[in-house]
Structure 1
Amino acid sequence: MAMHENDHSEALKARIKSPKRASRRVSMLLGAVALGALSTGALLQSTFDVGPAPAYAQNLSAQVPTANPAGFADVVDHVKPAVVSVRVKVAVEGASAEGLDLRQFGLPEGSPFERFFRRFGEEDQRGQRPAPRRFGEAQGSGFFISADGYVVTNNHVVEKAREVEIQTDDGKTYSAKVVGTDPKTDLALLKVDEGGKFPYVSFASGTPRVGDWVLAVGNPFGLGGTVTAGIVSARGRDIGAGPYDDFLQVDAAVNRGNSGGPTFNTSGEVVGVNTAIASPSGGNVGIAFAIPAETVQKVVAEIKDHGTVRRGYLGVQIQPINEGIAEGLGLKEAKGAIVARVEDGSPAAKAGIKSGDAILAVDGQEVKNARELARDIAGFAPGRTVDITVWRGGKKSDISVTLATMPGEKTASAESGEEQAGRLGLSLAPSGSVDGVDKDGVVVVGVEPGSPAEERGLRTGDVIVTVGGKKVETPQDVRQAVTELRKEGRKAVLMQVETASGARFVALPLA
């Protein structure tokens, strides 16, 4: 039985917007498939004759549809022009004189010979000078999601980028800028600098089923335009990559360089973004993970509209409800999440949620486990009021909570205080302007990739308490302190920083 020539192509055209159109004849060899099934069935019956099945049993295999496409060439022809290779230039640091200890030469710190040793005393055993800063390249994949040049890829592909280029399927190269990234879901949005009408693809509106065919297109090992096929192996995988893990597991061949590339269904719609593989060797073993299209659409829309991803914040520490906890609480099922701790001053505390409450639903939607609750709350915009269904004292009750902004994320009122003159690579905001921060000081709301701040371990959410021994409360305080230290001839600024793991001092170079 053969399909009409344009049936499959017309269905693809309705979903995929591309200046290149193609259609080919696709044949369905159902007769041969059915014959093979009958022959196999006869063999099994004669070899394993176990008598008639019980009346209550069902032969599930006999009910499975057998109509599958004979190939994927038409799908590939339509979607391939929208998939790109992402090339990133990153700084590669050579040996540094930062840690040179002059005392090993019997000289005190600040000696007049310091400059001499900084220039000539750092030679290694071969008498060679340390290598200067140089640049290397990294490669990944991506895909156009709009005709005006927006490209989706992984955050880890571009997080330390100095320059970004994309190469299209027809060999053309364009420079691109990073619009924004979201490390928590490992997604990034790029924008091609040059205008034009680029071929692009659309996201699938539904979630694929386990067993559905999928195609991975990308740039493995620098081999651009590579297509592999497989099926959806599982859904909802938590691989410990981030707080909102909800991956599709696929068995299509995915390797290094496929990161950021799309996974398509047989209709040419994007069902996921390839992100990680499970492999003892680093190569494909048939276990790959893709970020679901639903998550990608939400994150990309937030980045495009706001430059960052705004997430709702409830302010509780939670843990899963197991059988023992459910029995102790009087719950019939081990579902939901129990509140282990309520953060002071958080939305949950203000609304009256208490430690020991079991959260069962959010806005009427059942919560299956703690991980799902975290994703649900993060999916709401800050300022949104939601109804939290809790189990307390043997009965259910609904509590209305107005969510705040996730601590450490930049808010609309955050005052930019990036230290440009010193090239420290920090974006700062007063602690009072960032919800959930209960420490006095200045909050780090952004760290420039490859900057001295990143190299010294400063992270978003850290709170700077003092700079050069002086307390700071605003970004202006930080700038002023840095300026004064520079006038004094200091080569580094010492900052006292409060982090999630405790307090520490960080020295950032001023030169």
Structure 2
Amino acid sequence: MRAPFTAIALVLVTAAATASVVVPDAAPVSGAAPGTAAAGNVAPAAAAQAVAPEAQRAPAEQLVTGLPDFTRLVEQVGPGVVNIEATIGSRTAQRGQRRGGQMPNEEMMPEIFRRILGPEFPFPGAPQGPDGPGPRGTSMGTGFLVSADGYLLTNHHVVANADQVKVRLHDRREFDAEVVGSDEQSDVAVLKIDASGLPVLRAGDSRQVRPGQWAVAIGSPFGLDQSVTAGIVSAVGRSNPYANQRYVPFIQTDVAINRGNSGGPLLNTRGEVIGINSQIFSNSGGYMGVSFAIPIDMAMNVAEQIKSTGSVQRGQVGVVVEAVNAEKAAGLGLPDTLGALVNSVQPGSPAEKAGIEVGDVIRAVDGSAINQSSDLPPIIGSKAPGTRVRLEVFREGRSRNVDVTLSQLDEGAAVAAAGGPDAGRTPGAASSNPLGLVGQDLTAAQRRQLGLGADEGVRIARVEGLAAREAGIQPGDVVLRVGRTPVAGAAALDRQLRDVRAGQTVMLLVNRGGTTQFIAVTPREGGED
């Protein structure tokens, strides 16, 4: 049985909220110089015990010299960090009503968004303020200037669907900002304000970032402008299974990041930006020591594409991959568990044209090792369509090189094929059934690959309900039946689940990776989340 996800939530660190302050106790730091052996009449055995071996007596090399002082860094870099306030108003509400028929109320809204929007957000059905009906809210975040004439970067989720964006500079001047462009897949947005002679932050080289090095964040957690926190880089190239950003090799840190830090810079000790703070793992909605930043190299590439063309293009191979475990490695004759196992090849894709087959294991791209399956999408996605890449492929006991010319990523098709979280649905749309399962109709080709009938099965694109997540339902699962009733598509899934009540157990027949099993899901009293 899979471990439940109840203790972990992915939080997009955006909205201001009330916070409690905890001051940890200071831990004393002590040290002792190596001792010397006493002279005199000492028995040989006692002398042997009294005199430490040379390796223990010699002082170790000092690897860290004192604690860093970040004051000069903050003085120089702080003026380039800005506060962002995005207003989500009635036009967004009307667009949402046209797309989905009605806006979700507070009970329907997942906990993550209730935390982001805050307790004062007037959900439909709640008492309305003086501005009249229709939900309104404010998204608070951080950004930083990348050009003296007013271009700045922040997160996509800070400004998504905003009717108005205001930017407040370090010197307290405020500007209305234009959203030049925004990319959900990388969570990067480019804004422009009408100003000149502005202080600019310098981009570093995120490829040189290593675990253990110091990192500094400046931002506006809970609306507290110019807050400085520091820590170390915990890991690089980290995939995030709870996020939509499949093409981002995140920098993980233990720098204290909270809601409102979104879009702010992660800096090295030279004051260079190495990442954009984006997300945290938390079971409380607050800082838990696991924070994620978008590498600045990727962010700047996205920003340049947005500025020059208004959109972002990514390359694709056209395969769906999965992880290699020890059992699969033994079955494939692999010497280890490194690589990405191909479980589907999209018809007409570059992979099919190049001869990639189901069961192949992609071990490297242009000489860069694929250690785990999640390494492949960021490497391929960072390359432009039309790029020719060389894949090292393990097949039938030996490695071979296959040259593939990348096509342009069709994000909707790619996510649907991968069973990703947003397959076939409008971004931000809510589920339409009490279990919080968002279905995606299968194509004829996908049904053939799965060995299903013409009207059989629905792929799960997103799992928004807590009970379903706890029970083990995953994006990419194919639901075949609700109880004893076959399911033919997304509409049928919603229809068959619409009358489920809290405390009522539903049996779902699920196909996952060719294996069929029943999974029991019981919605809780008081709502799913």
CA distance in 2, matches of 1:304, 1:446: 27
Give me the TM-score of the superposition, normalised by structure 1.
0.63
How far apart are residue 129 of structure 1 and its match?
12
Q: Indicate how the Cα distance of structure 1 residues 83 and 41 shifts in structure 2: closer, same or farther if over 3 A, else same.
A: same
Q: Which residue type is aligned with residue 83 of structure 1? A: V
CA distance in 2, matches of 1:295, 1:285: 26
Asked if 1:142 is matched to 2:143, the reply is yes
The equivalent residue for 1:279 is: 282
Structure 1 residue matching 2:329: 3-state secondary structure = helix
Q: How does 1:392-471 map to 2 (within 5 A)?
A: 392-408=395-411
- 41, 44, 69: which one aligns with 2:33: 41
Alignment check: 8 A CA contact 2:220 2:261 kept: yes
Alignment check: 8 A CA contact 1:387 1:399 kept: yes
How far apart are residue 297 of structure 1 and its match?
2.2
Q: Which residue type is aligned with residue 65 of structure 2? A: A
Q: Which residue type is aligned with residue 197 of structure 2? A: K
The equivalent residue for 2:326 is: 323
Alignment check: 8 A CA contact 2:318 2:414 kept: no
How far apart are residue 306 of structure 1 and its match?
2.2
Structure 1 residue matching 2:391: 3-state secondary structure = strand
The equivalent residue for 1:204 is: 204
The equivalent residue for 1:184 is: 185
Q: Which residue type is aligned with residue 133 of structure 2? A: P
Q: Indicate how the Cα distance of structure 1 residues 329 and 133 shifts in structure 2: closer, same or farther if over 3 A, else same.
A: closer
CA distance in 1, matches of 2:152, 2:372: 33
How far apart are residue 50 of structure 1 and its match?
8.4
Q: How does 1:57-456 map to 2 (within 5 A)?
A: 62-68=60-66, 70-91=68-89, 93=93, 131-133=132-134, 135-192=136-193, 194-205=194-205, 206-240=207-241, 241=243, 242-408=245-411
Deviates more, 1:267-276 or 1:87-96: 87-96
CA distance in 2, matches of 1:160, 1:148: 25
CA distance in 2, matches of 1:296, 1:223: 25
Q: Which residue type is aligned with residue 209 of structure 1? A: R
Per-residue CA deviation, residues 408-436 of structure 1 (Å, 9 max, x unaligned), is 47xxxxxxxxxxxxxxxxxxxxxxxx999
CA distance in 2, matches of 1:372, 1:45: 54
How far apart are residue 374 of structure 1 and its match?
1.6
Alignment check: 8 A CA contact 1:336 1:370 kept: yes
Structure 2 residue matching 1:161: 3-state secondary structure = coil
Q: Indicate how the Cα distance of structure 1 residues 295 and 129 shifts in structure 2: closer, same or farther if over 3 A, else same.
A: closer
CA distance in 2, matches of 1:45, 1:321: 55
How far apart are residue 85 of structure 1 and its match?
0.3
CA distance in 1, matches of 2:184, 2:82: 21
Alignment check: 8 A CA contact 1:207 1:271 kept: no
CA distance in 2, matches of 1:436, 1:63: 50
Structure 1 residue matching 2:278: 3-state secondary structure = strand
Q: Indicate how the Cα distance of structure 1 residues 130 and 306 shifts in structure 2: closer, same or farther if over 3 A, else same.
A: closer
Q: Which residue type is aligned with residue 378 of structure 2? A: R
Answer 1 or 2: higher relative contact order, Cα 8 Å, separation at least 6. Answer: 2
The equivalent residue for 1:17 is: none
Alignment check: 8 A CA contact 2:220 2:227 kept: yes
CA distance in 1, matches of 2:167, 2:405: 42
Structure 2 residue matching 1:371: 3-state secondary structure = helix
Structure 1 residue matching 2:208: 3-state secondary structure = coil
CA distance in 2, matches of 1:138, 1:224: 14
Alignment check: 8 A CA contact 2:34 2:57 kept: no
Structure 2 residue matching 1:356: 3-state secondary structure = coil
CA distance in 2, matches of 1:348, 1:338: 13
Q: Indicate how the Cα distance of structure 1 residues 44 and 407 shifts in structure 2: closer, same or farther if over 3 A, else same.
A: farther
Alignment check: 8 A CA contact 2:240 2:246 kept: no
Per-residue CA deviation, residues 134-189 of structure 1 (Å, 9 max, x unaligned), is 64322100001111211111111111211111100000011111122221222111
CA distance in 1, matches of 2:64, 2:416: 57
How far apart are residue 280 of structure 1 and its match?
2.2
CA distance in 1, matches of 2:183, 2:425: 12
The equivalent residue for 1:110 is: none
CA distance in 2, matches of 1:161, 1:397: 49
Structure 2 residue matching 1:309: 3-state secondary structure = coil
Question: Percent of aligned pairs with the same residue?
Answer: 37
Per-residue CA deviation, residues 268-324 of structure 1 (Å, 9 max, x unaligned), is 001111111222222223332212222222222222222222111111111122222
How far apart are residue 87 of structure 1 and its match?
0.7
Q: Which residue type is aligned with residue 74 of structure 1? A: R
CA distance in 2, matches of 1:125, 1:245: 38
Q: Which residue type is aligned with residue 210 of structure 2? A: R
Per-residue CA deviation, residues 19-74 of structure 1 (Å, 9 max, x unaligned), is xxxxxxxxxxxxxxxxx88x52348999xx8864587x998x82243334651111
How far apart are residue 326 of structure 1 and its match?
2.3
Give me the TM-score of the superposition, normalised by structure 2.
0.61
CA distance in 2, matches of 1:435, 1:231: 35
Per-residue CA deviation, residues 71-101 of structure 1 (Å, 9 max, x unaligned), is 11111110001000011010265999978xx
How far apart are residue 364 of structure 1 and its match?
2.5
How far apart are residue 196 of structure 1 and its match?
1.2
Q: Which residue type is aligned with residue 173 of structure 2? A: K
The equivalent residue for 2:44 is: none
Alignment check: 8 A CA contact 1:263 1:274 kept: yes
Q: Indicate how the Cα distance of structure 1 residues 393 and 151 shifts in structure 2: closer, same or farther if over 3 A, else same.
A: same
How far apart are residue 375 of structure 1 and its match?
1.4
Structure 2 residue matching 1:224: 3-state secondary structure = coil
Alignment check: 8 A CA contact 1:406 1:436 kept: no
Deviates more, 1:322-331 or 1:339-348: 322-331
CA distance in 1, matches of 2:328, 2:167: 52
Unaligned runs of 5+ in 2: 1-28, 39-48, 103-124, 418-422, 433-439, 444-477, 480-488, 495-529
